[in-house]
Amino acid sequence: MAAVNPAIHDTHHDGHAGHDDKPHGFLHRWLFTTNHKDIGTLYLVFSLTMFFIGGSFAMLIRAELFQPGLQLLQPETFNELTTMHALIMIFGAIMPAFVGLGNWMIPLQIGAPDMALPRMNNWSFWILPFAFLLLIGEIFMPGGGPQGGWTMYPPLSLEGGFNVAFMIFAIHLMGISSIMGAINIIATILNMRAPGMDLLKMPVFVWSWLITAFLLIAVMPVLAGAVTMLLTDKYFGTSFFHAAGGGDPVMYQHIFWFFGHPEVYIMILPAFGIVSEIIPTFSRKPIFGYQAMVYAIASIAFLSFIVWAHHMFTVGMPLGGELFFMYATMLIAIPTGVKVFNWLSTMWQGSLTFETPMLFAIAFVILFTIGGFSGVMCAIVPADFQYQDTYFVVAHFHYVLVSGAAFGIMAAAYYWLPKWSGNMYSEKWGKIHFWSSAIAVNVLFFPQHFVGLAGMPRRIPDYNVAFADFNMISSIGGFWFGASQLIFVGVIIHCVYFSRQRATAQVWEGARGLEWTVPSPAPFHTFSTPPVITNDMLAHGDVSH
């Protein structure tokens, strides 16, 4: 593979785009790539593909739930769809999207020429298509895909056929990919910052990824352990979780959620980082309380390790355990509140404009906060005895994951697309996509609070007629939200291939930070020689706050 010769890549001169020695040929360019930008693009395209596959499963779920009675699906197919929808969206759509954004933007934001470990970077991406081939391929095997829910609680999950082994190997592959990606990100951030890019001058997005990467390294092995024990329980006669053999089904839940709760924050912390980049840009004002923002992310990450059992308040824990996990969970509201107040204060007395990234970022703050409110309610153990495993919880985590994490990713896509492609996207269609998605997501998920409180359990394919009206509204919102995402794809394709409006290096009037000092599109190789950084180039150069 041709090594990069730094002498001919002085990216501080424009006009290099024509001869920046991108590898020729599709396989060389994409399969063998070690370039952080190309790998970032691969991750993002993969994530968008998975978003549509997982989304199409959600459409089938909402179609079956459109009316009471089973019209389209057998109950076991419905269970297969809910399980696959969750696994694909979590491991295939949300997580790879953040890794893709990190790959693209972290080197650009800290003045590094590439990721620290480029070949491992290639590997951590190319594992994923094979992992998902295993996972999604199960649908076409005898017995179908896994039906025990993405949480894979034994004994139910062990009732599956072939799919148990395939699902577990797919999860192992995803875990390996995530761990390698996380090692790479930590190594990059800690070792490859340009001179002058002190830790507490880094963009909040970089901070959020540094902390997220530590969470990944801490908990993905825990998930691997949990599913390996499932595997040996199923095929090798062990009894880790078999009550009859002296095992404990609840132990699985403790191990799973010790992974699972940090996992929840793995899916939201980078979105916090993204929003913390976008709001200052379009407020034309530095972020309020930069250090508090960083410490808040770190506090949330720490707390994520001591709240896991709030996912299992109804398993029959002792009183002391319930109280501890209630108090610890409620504490999360404090650093999260700090973040929301700081975003608001950043906007206060700013000079606001509302381009599409800003619209998504504001919607993120508003709608994520709704998910935060229902989160605090779920923390209250006696009330959770009612909420647990109902549509109230479904509404809660979709507010934080769809209008939270996914909106954060969309905001980032609009924000950096001009930097990636060199072209401006259509602001008009971006705004249409935004308003359509923002309204539909509420039509989709808000009524689910009501049916959950009224008594509708989650993961059921059919329901009493009392739940019919809100379910129909929710389904209409679901189809509308799904259709809205086609606009997103249209805007991206138009921007990359057809837009004639060229982006400047700065792109946004209020944008600050190193990524805006390189031309648009970002040349194939950037910062081959470290940039000379002055504090006024940085969003957070003033260390007094």
Partner 1 sequence: MISFGMVGARRAAAAVAAFALFASGTVMAGPQPWQLNMPTGVTSISQRIHGVHMLAFWICVAIGVIVYGAMVYAMFKFRKSRGAVAAKWSHNTMLEAVWTTIPILILIAMAWPATKLLIDMAHVENSEMTIKVTGYQWKWRYEYVDYFGKATPVNFISTLDAESNRVRQTGSGLDPHSVKEGDENVYLLNVDKPLVLPVGVKVRFVITADDVIHSWWVPDLGWKQDAIPGIINDNWTRIDVAGTYRGQCAELCGRDHGFMPIVVKAVPKAEFEQWLATQQAAASASKTAQAAPAAALPATQG
- Shortest Å distance, C-beta 377 to partner 1: 5
User: Of these residues, 193, 201, 311, 512, which one is catalytic?
Assistant: 311
Other beta carbons less than 10 A from residue 130's beta carbon: 13
User: Of these residues, 265, 399, 463, 508, which one is catalytic?
Assistant: 265
Of 478, 453, 477, the closest CA to residue 466 belongs to 453
Closest CB to partner 1 among 127 and 294?
294
Three-state secondary structure string covering 404-458: HHHHHHHHHHHHHHHHHHCECCCHHHHHHHHHHHHHHHHHHHHHHHHHHHHCCEC
The residues, any chain, with a CB within 8 Å of residue 430's CB and separated by 6 or more, are 355, 356, 414, 491
Closest CB to partner 1 among 9 and 398?
398
Closest CB to partner 1 among 37 and 285?
285
User: Of these residues, 201, 310, 398, 525, which one is catalytic?
Assistant: 310
User: Of these residues, 449, 458, 512, 540, which one is catalytic?
Assistant: 458
Torsion of CA 360, 338, 222, 49, to 10 degrees: 0
Active site residue 276: yes
- Shortest Å distance, C-beta 351 to partner 1: 4
Of 526, 421, 513, 492, the closest CA to residue 207 belongs to 513
Q: Give the C-alpha separation, 300 to 265, whole Å.
A: 8
The residues, any chain, with a CB within 8 Å of residue 417's CB and separated by 6 or more, are 425, 492, 495, 496
- Shortest Å distance, C-beta 241 to partner 1: 10
Active site residue 20: no
- Shortest Å distance, C-beta 396 to partner 1: 12
Two tokens at 191? 């070792």
Active site residue 396: no
Active site residue 419: no
Closest CB to partner 1 among 181 and 452?
452
Q: Give the C-alpha separation, 85 to 458, whole Å.
A: 14
- Shortest Å distance, C-beta 282 to partner 1: 9
- Shortest Å distance, C-beta 455 to partner 1: 4
Closest CB to partner 1 among 381 and 438?
381
Two tokens at 473? 């509204």
Beta-bridged to residue 379, according to DSSP, are none
Active site residue 28: no
Active site residue 526: no
Active site residue 398: no
Two tokens at 465? 């007629």
Active site residue 339: yes
Active site residue 509: no
User: Of these residues, 62, 85, 512, 525, which one is catalytic?
Assistant: 85
Closest CB to partner 1 among 92 and 146?
146
Active site residue 114: yes
Other beta carbons less than 10 A from residue 535's beta carbon: 12
User: Of these residues, 47, 178, 390, 426, which one is catalytic?
Assistant: 178
Which residues are catalytic, by number?
A: 85, 114, 150, 177-178, 261, 263, 265, 276, 310-311, 336, 339, 458
